[in-house]
Structure 1
Amino acid sequence: LPNEKHLKRVALVGNVKWQEQFTEVLLPFSEAHIKFYKTEEKDDAKEWIK
């Protein structure tokens, strides 16, 4: 992720299983907290990154 060092939280939103799995792959490579949300949970994702 560009400028990742400036990010504390990253919320990824999608509905495909590989997107959720990709989130898990990113975890060891990022200092940011990364969380996956399903499309219907996008409001929760927006709240979490505040």
Structure 2
Amino acid sequence: MRCLKLLGERIMARDFDRQVAELQVRAALFNRFTQLGTPVTVAMP
């Protein structure tokens, strides 16, 4: 949640379609941050 707050708490766009696009970009960034922070585990034989 901290990453989303770093992007700003308010939606900057005024048009509804642009608001949707802005939230989709934020979600994509949040998912990327999560992917980068997730450790890769490998099973040892």
TM-score (norm 2): 0.32
Structure number with larger C-alpha Rg: 2
Question: Which has the higher relative contact order, 1 or 2, with Cα contacts under 8 A spaced 6 or more apart?
Answer: 1
TM-score (norm 1): 0.30
